[in-house]
Amino acid sequence: MEEVVVERETWTDPEFGSEHEGWVGVLLEDGTVPPPVFFGSESSAHHSEVAQWSVYIGRYPYGPRAAALRGACACGWTGPAHVLDWDRIGDRELQLAGADAADNCVVDWDVHTEEVRLATIALPTVVSDLLGRLTRSRS
């Protein structure tokens, strides 16, 4: 069975890597998070699922219309909602018209990772070395 990979732009902090991978999340009008958008191909078995915020424009074949964007992190953290003004957006591409809201999500995630950094206590070198040896021996 083919593994389905959900495509979306993500970013990481060099110190935390994938444990704090961030992205711009989408909220619908009712406050729920929409599923990834399925893009199939009639000519092949290839398909993809996309959760990139800019596909949620409310028109076929794209996803439902995003009401707000918020930063999200692999650790489960989510930031505040940045409401999208669709009257102002109109027919413009969401990628461009929603860029300020998306940029705010990145800033929120930066604040989140800085808070994590400040709350993190470094392990003593002896413990770090032991964990490294254990990890290598299991490989």
Supply the pLDDT for residue 80: 98
pLDDT surpasses 80 at 26 = yes
Q: Does residue 1 sit within a domain?
A: no
- Count of residues in the chain: 139
Q: Does residue 100 sit within a domain?
A: yes
User: What does the alpha-carbon distance between residue 11 and residue 73 come to, in Å, rounded to a whole number?
Assistant: 9
User: What does the alpha-carbon distance between residue 113 and residue 97 come to, in Å, rounded to a whole number?
Assistant: 26
How many structural domains are present in the chain?
Answer: 1
Residue, of 100 and 130, whose pLDDT is higher: 100
User: What does the alpha-carbon distance between residue 95 and residue 54 come to, in Å, rounded to a whole number?
Assistant: 5
- Half-sphere exposure (CA, 13 Å, Cβ side) for 94? 22
Structure tokens at 122: 């470094």
Q: Does residue 41 sit within a domain?
A: yes
In the chain, the percentage of residues whose pLDDT exceeds 90 is: 65
Q: Does residue 111 sit within a domain?
A: yes
pLDDT surpasses 80 at 127 = yes
pLDDT surpasses 70 at 44 = no
Supply the pLDDT for residue 9: 93
Q: Does residue 19 sit within a domain?
A: yes
The tens digit of pLDDT for each residue in 75-106 reads: 999 999 999 999 999 999 999 999 999 999 99
User: What does the alpha-carbon distance between residue 39 and residue 55 come to, in Å, rounded to a whole number?
Assistant: 11
Q: Does residue 82 sit within a domain?
A: yes
Range of 22's domain? 6-138
Average pLDDT, the chain: 89
Distance of CA 94 to CAs 13, 65, 100, 123, 126, Å? Answer: 26, 10, 11, 44, 50
Supply the pLDDT for residue 39: 76
Residue, of 40 and 9, whose pLDDT is higher: 9
- Assign 6 a pLDDT band (cuts: 50, 70, 90): confident
